[in-house]
Structure 1
Amino acid sequence: MFHKEGHKIIFTTFIFVVACFLLVDNFIHKVWIQNTIWFLLLGFLILILQFFRNPKRKTVLDDTQVVSPVDGKVVVIEEVFEKEYFKDKRLQVSVFMSPLNVHVTRYPVGGSVVFSKYHPGKYLVAWHPKASEENERTTVVVENPTYGKVLYRQIAGALAKRIVNYAEINNEVIQGSDSGFIKFGSRVDLFLPLNSKIKVKLNQKVSGGESIIAEIND
């Protein structure tokens, strides 16, 4: 199953690969050169298909927990000052996605979208300290009646040139459902209440919509 954001690119890539196959077959007669080009073209097509895959995830709906919005590796866990929306201290958990990860973004909690904003910007590498403030990004805040307000920020990386964000203010959203897509490498930051109990560790691999990032600390 492929994400709808990839349908046009997959179709275009498929046509390009088929056209190249035909050109190679008609104009290049050395078998080893043909095989090399065909191998590279097939590999390119497979990479595109892999990037836009959209596997089904079984999210266990729970208003006391925050699930990972994306697949990837946890690269930041720290207390920070969030200055765009909350303007106070929050717990930040950041997940980095390589080009080989699934790039679907999912809602970390269910509830009502109370803030959604797009910021144009640079394309620093996603793990750069200033990427969260200077790169192309979107900021979304979902208010959950039990957990409170959770902010997540899609951040473009050095390869990413387009962020897709489906979240609109006043939308009622379901935990684990699609909230957007980031094309070709990126990162997502979560900003959680200070009383959250973090359930992941640095360098841990997480799955979007399934891995538990945090829960309410009673």
Structure 2
Amino acid sequence: MPTQNKPSLPVIKRLPKYYRYLGEMEKEGVTKVSSSELARVMGTTASQVRQDFNCFGGFGQQGIGYNVKLLHEELGKLIFARHPVPTILIGAGNLGHAMANYFRQDTQGFELLAAFDVKPEMIGLTLCGVAIRDMAELESYCAEHKPKVAVICVPREAAKQVAQKLIDLGIRAFWNFSHYDFSIEYPDIIVENVHLGDSLATLSYEVNNNL
């Protein structure tokens, strides 16, 4: 369904949450849901739910609500590509292992092709079904397989060093677990930054000021 208005980043960030809740409703046998019911589980307002969906053409009818199965499917089409997006992992340590395992079990729309590391003892091993390759092979591998997304699981300085190379190799989207924000120096790329320390600090603030 074509978009009616260009959705804002907050709207885009709410889509996966809508998708997840609707999937849970569908499994529970729920067939219809109102904007008010969606607002309750989302922690927002019915008006906000309708405004969000209006960015993509609406999906529902006034007074009737939303068909859960259909809405779940339509949001899935918006969020996920028709064909898995080829993806590589940079950094095969503990965090990289956790992310590779996540790709194997839970991700939709992405295909993890290979992992890369600089540690000689890691090269040639298998990480959750994908081979760990030497970073020296990165250029030739990208030329052959043309990945579009890189998952960054290395420290800040290592990410900073490899950023330009990855971009030069045609990668324009990053799921970034380093503390280096690619978008500051490279504003034309797509980056989803995940800073575990920031998340924990936010939790710490809430605990210290509300309990």
TM-score by length of 2: 0.27
Greater share of residues in helix: 2
TM-score by length of 1: 0.26
Using CA pairs under 8 Å that are at least 6 residues apart, name the structure with larger relative contact order, 1 or 2.
1
